[in-house]
Amino acid sequence: MQNQSWLKSMGRQVEHRLAGALPESVRRNMYVELWVSIAYGAFFAASMNFVPVVLRRIGASPDMLAVYTAEQFLGSALASLSIIVMRRRRTMNVVVVCWLFGRATLLFWAFVTQAGWMIVISAIFWLLEAFPSPGYTRILIKLYPPEARGRIMSLVRMGRVGAILIVTPLAGWALDKWGYQILFPAAGVIGILSALQFLRLRVDEGHLPARQTKALRELFGILRQDRRFARFLFSFSVYGAGTLLSWTLYPIVQVDRLHLSYSQIGLLGLAQSVFWLLGFIYWGRQVDKRGGLWVLRVNTLVNLAIPLTYFFAQSPWMLLPAFIANGITIAGWDMGAINATIQLSDGERVTEYAALQSTMLGLRGMFIPFVASGFLHLGASIDSIFLLSTLLIAISWWLFGTVQTAALSPEEAAAHQRLRYQWPLRWRFPRM
């Protein structure tokens, strides 16, 4: 009993330090979502982190890997349509149903051995997982008061990354021992339980506000009206082209050139998760101090290490800098992109700016991987594509520097701080 009391007291101290004093209803929802986040982290670490390598191991061609990379952005490209669906239905129901059916697709991995069918199943997962993203964030807005939302989200995210940190090396060992046909369905069960746990949240959804933009033509009109934001999106797209060109090729190097085992990938993923966790702590402070655009520029420089590491790597452990850099930039781009876009947007239309960025993110993600496979068909070497990726990332760093931001008044800074945690389209789990 004394031990339980001591643990409870320590838990409350940690909670108070990280999230502050909270009403009981808010605290309950925070702990429910924390468990949801931990379960989701375990699900993701035991499955989706390893899918590209599994596909390559069973014979997926570079073209098939390009298809898999592109389909991960299908849900982002269509996420704005979920707003229409949720106008006639309870948001919670739409979100959970999409997650349940999406994560249930992993159960079929027990019976599938052909790469083509795996890619089809994965497409359904990625579509349903990302499609309700605006609804998910809308629920979070309703759950937590603005003055505490940021601290609560930080705590929840740390739980997710902590689960990934622990599970990733264990999942690598399990894949070597039992294979994906056992591990992936087991991960799917955890993902389903995470979605069902989400239903325990107590939330009054209210009504969706009317959209200011009612057509895609009006949405893209923002680019004509706001040249600064258009330049930012162009820089963002050049950066995405640089990273995605190589993304498809990483599993090929890991399997064909360096012959990594699943256990080795799991240990490298452990290092990535450690720096991912530390990155959230560091970049969160830098965003408040220096702004999101500054954080993006620094992370762009850090990201240069990833394709260059793969270019020079001659042994499995030479990939360690790439995994560390990826962990740092996952956190940096998650925090920086959200805040930079809000900083550059019209505060009254931040949701529409978010929808525009999501659409651009999805379109570039569905196109660029096929450019990489096209280069391979034309006779380009993998290493030459890595160098092209490095060049494009370096150009994007320069382009970000041309985006001018005005200094914010204390009142504007406080408003942006509140908006930051209402961002409806969060970057989810980029991988090596």
104-141 per-position pLDDT tens digit: 999 999 998 899 999 999 999 999 988 877 677 667 76
Q: Is the pLDDT of residue 8 over 50?
A: no
287 pLDDT band, cuts 50/70/90, is confident
**C-alpha torsion sign, points 258, 260, 264, 269:** positive
What number does CATH give the domain 23-202+218-420?
1.20.1250.20
Query: Looking at the predicted structure, is the pLDDT value of residue 194 above 50?
Result: yes
**Confidence (pLDDT) at 418:** 52
pLDDT category of residue 3 using cuts at 50, 70 and 90? very low
Contact between 255 and 53 under an 8 Å Cβ cutoff? The reply is yes
Q: Which residues contact 363 (CB under 8 A, 6 or more apart)?
A: 73, 77
33, burial (CB in 10 Å: exposed 0-12, middle 13-18, buried 19+): buried
Task: Count how many residues are written for the chain.
Answer: 432
H helix count then E strand count, the chain? 21, 0
Of the candidates 79, 31, 130, 27, the residue with the CA atom closest to the CA atom of residue 430: 130
The token duo for 91 is: 């948001």
CA-nearest of 197, 193, 203 to 90 is 203
Average the pLDDT over 274-302 and give the result. 83
The predicted-structure confidence for 13-72, as pLDDT tens digits, reads as follows 445 544 455 667 778 888 888 999 999 999 999 998 899 889 998 888 888 988 988 888
Token pair 């550059």 is found at: 344
- The pLDDT value recorded for residue 306 is 95
Q: Cβ atoms within 10 A of the Cβ of 234, count?
A: 16
Residue 317 DSSP one-character state: G
Give dist(CA 115, CA 69) in Å, integer.
Answer: 14
For residues 351-364, average pLDDT: 73
> 426: pLDDT confidence band, cut at 50, 70 and 90?
very low
For 370, other C-beta atoms within 10 Å of its C-beta total: 16
Q: How far is the C-alpha of 292 from the C-alpha of 260, rounded, in Å? A: 36
Nearest to 115 by CA among 58, 50, 66: 58
Domain boundaries in the chain?
A: 23-202+218-420
302 contacts: CB under 8 Å, gap ≥ 6: 325, 328, 329, 332
User: What token pair was written down for 21?
Assistant: 């004093």
What's the confidence (pLDDT) of residue 428? 39
For 223, 250, 416, the CA distances from 233, given in Å and listed in that order, are: 9, 26, 19
- Separation between Cα atoms, residue 381 and residue 398, nearest integer Å: 26
**Residue that wins the pLDDT comparison between 211 and 101:** 101
How many other C-beta atoms are found inside a 10 Å radius of the C-beta of residue 272? Answer: 25
- Token pair recorded at residue 431: 């991988």
Contact indicator for 203, 143 with CB cutoff of 8 Å: yes
d(CA 13, CA 5): 12
* DSSP reduced 3-state for 60: coil
Query: Are 96 and 148 within 8 A, CB to CB?
Result: no
Closest CA to 372 of 362, 360, 386: 386
Q: Are 338 and 286 in contact (CB under 8 A)?
A: no
Output the furthest CA–CA distance in the chain (Å, rounded): 69
Cβ neighbours of residue 427 under 8 Å, at least 6 residues apart?
Answer: 330, 333, 334, 337
